[in-house]
Amino acid sequence: MLFQSVGILVHYNWALPYYFIRTTDVEIVDNITSFFTILMGGFYYLFKSQGRIKLSLIKSGISGIDSNNLVKLLAKMYAKRVVKERNYDVVHINSYDVIGKEFLKLPLPRVFVLHGSLDFANGSVCSSLNEIYSTVEAFVVVSMHAATRLNELCGFRPTTIIHHGIDVEIFNPTSYPKDLARRILGLPKDKKIILWNARMEREKKLETLIKALPYVVREYKDILILIKTRTIDPSYETMIQKLVNKLNVEKYVVFDERWSPLIKMPLYYRAADIYVNTSVTEAFGSLTMLEAMACGTPTVANNASSNPEALGDGGLLYNGEPYDLAEKLMKILSDSKLAKALSYKAYKRIVNGLTLVHTARKYCELYKFIS
């Protein structure tokens, strides 16, 4: 099969193809991907695939480089050559970029996956989405929320909904003992750690957690907010730093802006006592939230977009306001039995239907149906 990667979602771009080849339905995956996704964890699955994931580097994975018109042209030319020289049984398309448009032209069974919730989209996107829908054999979204928004905005329903999945062989409650994870990361043993892990961009609403912090530290002084981030909007980062200083909570906040390969991420989730998702728009919760849940980390999420659908009964929802988030955090901090129950429920939510085994199986069933 021909598989087009999207962004730097290692769980989707590499772990999912790896679980395809672990089924009896997919023999070889030609992964059309970027160099950066290999560095961020693709190397792990590429090695484990023993040659059954074929690598075709078509992008750098760095937006500033890949947005160059010459680079786009070269990528398009390479995509055409790949299509011409190789035979495929199915094409899995994840982006409507210059590469995806070439793959949409193929006279082969094509699956297109919409990665996004369309929460803040307007009708202008519908012409492209309708064109894709009329071209492919299957149009997939990753949440019921996205399917509803697609129908409301563009007037059609997807072929099916297939949720994202997590590699529970890496992300699980036994991956690291908490003390060891904290020692490796250089984090204190004597504090309650609240983890936030996402791109530092405005729709992620990190300020909600920062604004909730003063309420929490009135009751709990042994708190540390660990902000694990990567892609950064500089103006938004400046705003967050100013807010931290204004609220006088600097000693409770630590920023970790290192890029970490996927296989190292369980360290962060296992080191944390609570994971928080403050985002106002997500395709299906967020992969980082699902990773945290798989590691058994008690989870609190904003009651917005697809977050409730992804979280299920695996955590607590807050109403979008800092005070309510603070209340939910203090509820977990003050009740060890609740924390343990949420840890168990989070893990069970993943293993009962949101693993990559489940996701790969559903895609393979779809491939058979359209072939």
- Identify the pLDDT of residue 172: 98
What is the C-alpha to C-alpha distance for residues 315 and 307, in angstroms, rounded to an integer? Answer: 11
In a domain, 223, yes or no: yes
Residue with more model confidence, 371 or 206: 206
- Identify the pLDDT of residue 69: 73
Q: Which CATH number does the domain housing residue 6 bear?
A: 3.40.50.2000
Does 201 have pLDDT greater than 90? yes
**Per-residue confidence at 77, pLDDT binned at 50, 70, 90?**
confident
Q: Are residues 144 and 238 in the same domain?
A: no
Does 65 have pLDDT greater than 70? no
Q: Computed over its alpha carbons, how large is the radius of gyration of the chain?
A: 21
Does 351 have pLDDT greater than 70? yes
Does 364 have pLDDT greater than 90? yes
- Identify the pLDDT of residue 248: 97
Q: Are residues 37 and 123 in the same domain?
A: yes
In a domain, 116, yes or no: yes
**Per-residue confidence at 231, pLDDT binned at 50, 70, 90?**
confident
Does 162 have pLDDT greater than 70? yes
Q: Are residues 212 and 336 in the same domain?
A: yes
In a domain, 173, yes or no: no
* Count of structural domains, the chain: 2
Q: Are residues 193 and 306 in the same domain?
A: yes
Q: Are residues 125 and 220 in the same domain?
A: no
**Average pLDDT score over the chain:** 94
What distances in angstroms separate CA 302 from CA 54, 253, 279, 315, 356, one per listed residue?
A: 39, 20, 6, 11, 25
Quote the tokens at residue 40: 């961020």
Range of the domain at 119: 2-165+355-370
In a domain, 304, yes or no: yes
| Inter-residue contact 276 to 329 (CB < 8 Å) | yes
**Per-residue confidence at 111, pLDDT binned at 50, 70, 90?**
very high
Torsion of CA 253, 255, 260, 264, to 10 degrees: -20
Residue with more model confidence, 57 or 339: 339
Q: Are residues 197 and 134 in the same domain?
A: no
- Identify the pLDDT of residue 58: 79
Q: Are residues 291 and 216 in the same domain?
A: yes
Quote the tokens at residue 213: 């912090």
In a domain, 171, yes or no: no
Does 290 have pLDDT greater than 90? yes
In a domain, 19, yes or no: yes
Q: Are residues 321 and 233 in the same domain?
A: yes
Q: Looking at residues 233-251, what average pLDDT do you find?
A: 97
Q: Looking at residues 132-145, what average pLDDT do you find?
A: 98
Give the amino acid at 162.
I
**Per-residue confidence at 232, pLDDT binned at 50, 70, 90?**
confident
Q: Are residues 326 and 363 in the same domain?
A: no
- Identify the pLDDT of residue 61: 61
pLDDT above 70 covers what percent of the chain? 95
| Inter-residue contact 122 to 151 (CB < 8 Å) | no
Does 277 have pLDDT greater than 90? yes
In a domain, 170, yes or no: no
Give the amino acid at 349.
R
Q: Are residues 308 and 200 in the same domain?
A: yes
Give the amino acid at 198.
A
Top mean-pLDDT range of 32-41, 51-60, 309-318: 309-318
- Identify the pLDDT of residue 269: 98
**Per-residue confidence at 99, pLDDT binned at 50, 70, 90?**
confident
Q: Are residues 309 and 363 in the same domain?
A: no
pLDDT above 90 covers what percent of the chain? 82
- Identify the pLDDT of residue 97: 87
**Per-residue confidence at 191, pLDDT binned at 50, 70, 90?**
very high
- Exposed, middle or buried: residue 206 (CB in 10 Å: 0-12, 13-18, 19+)? buried
- Identify the pLDDT of residue 64: 65
In a domain, 172, yes or no: no
| Inter-residue contact 100 to 80 (CB < 8 Å) | no
- Identify the pLDDT of residue 102: 85
Q: Are residues 342 and 365 in the same domain?
A: no
> Mapped to the 3 state alphabet, what secondary structure does the chain carry?
CEEECCCCCHHHHHHHHHHHHCCCCCCCEEEEEEHHHHHHHHHHHHHHCCCCEEEEEEECCCHHHHCCHHHHHHHHHHHHHHHHHCCCCCEEECCCCHHHHHHHCCCCCEEEEECCCCCCCCHHHHHHHHHHHHHCCEEEECCHHHHHHHHHHHCCCCCEECCCCECCCCCCCCCCCHHHHHHHHCCCCCCEEEEEECCECHHHCHHHHHHHHHHHHCCCCCEEEEEECCCECHHHHHHHHHHHHHCCCHHHEEEECCCCCHHHHHHHHHHCCEEEECCCCCCCCCHHHHHHHHCCCCEEEECCCCHHHHHCCCCEEECCCHHHHHHHHHHHHCCHHHHHHHHHHHHHHHHCCCEHHHHHHHHHHHHHHHC
Q: Looking at residues 220-233, what average pLDDT do you find?
A: 93
Residue with more model confidence, 35 or 337: 337
- Identify the pLDDT of residue 36: 87
Q: Could you tell me how far CA 345 lies from the centroid of its own chain? A: 20
- Identify the pLDDT of residue 62: 63
Residue of 7, 110, 22, 114 lying closest to 66 (CA atoms): 7
- Identify the pLDDT of residue 273: 98
Does 147 have pLDDT greater than 90? yes
